[in-house]
Amino acid sequence: MRLIVKQLDGTETEVTGRLNWTVMELIRDAGLPMRAECGGSCACATCHVYIDQDWMEKVGGRNDEESYTLDGAFNVQDNSRLSCQITFKPELDGLSMTLTKDATG
């Protein structure tokens, strides 16, 4: 299982998918830039990613707390998610996303 993680400069990295890890943890574990300042407690918006549109349905929407926390992010789009709030499941195998500047610093 894997994730496809793209960066704003166009680089694309395949990241191992591990069940029940959050997407933020998987990206950080792979050594990619991931600030995630609050460590995954949905408090800082520095793990902000853009989910590829064709994955939005499987990933699902934001919860209320996440919507509030995204108020501290920039350039928020309808496909914006906090990667610490997405738990990796088998159906997300192949999930593709782009890291925002909030996340990479």
Partner 1 sequence: MADGSVSEASLHMGETGPIETDVVIIGAGPVGLFAVFELGLNDMKSHLIDILDRPGGQCAELYPEKPIYDIPALPSVTGQGLTDRLMEQIKPFHPVFHFSQMAESLRKTEDGRWHIETDAGTALIAKVVVIAAGGGSFMPKKPPIAGIEAYEAKSVFYAVRRMETFRDRSILIAGGGDSALDWTLNLQPMASELQLIHRRDDFRAAPDSVAKMRELVAAGKVKLHIGQIVSLEGEGGQLAGVRVKPDNGDDYVVQCDCMLPFFGLTMKLGPVANFGLNLTENLIPVDTAKFETSEQGIFAIGDINSYPGKLKLILSGFHEAALMAQEAFRIVHPTARYRFQYTTSSSSLQEKLGVSA
Binding pattern for the stretch 17-36 against partner 1, x by CB under 8 A and - elsewhere: --------------------
Among 29, 68, 87, 93, binds partner 1 (CB under 8 A): 68
Residue of 88, 12, 86 whose CA lies nearest to 47: 86
CB of 73 to partner 1, least distance (A): 8
Only segment of 20-28, 40-48, 51-59, 88-96 that touches partner 1 (CB under 8 A): 40-48
Q: Two tokens at 79? A: 């496909």
What is the dihedral sign for C-alpha 48, 79, 86, 2?
negative
CB 82 within 8 A of CB 45: yes
- Which residue ranges make up the site for partner 1 (CB under 8 A)? 37-39, 41, 43-46, 67-68, 70-76, 101
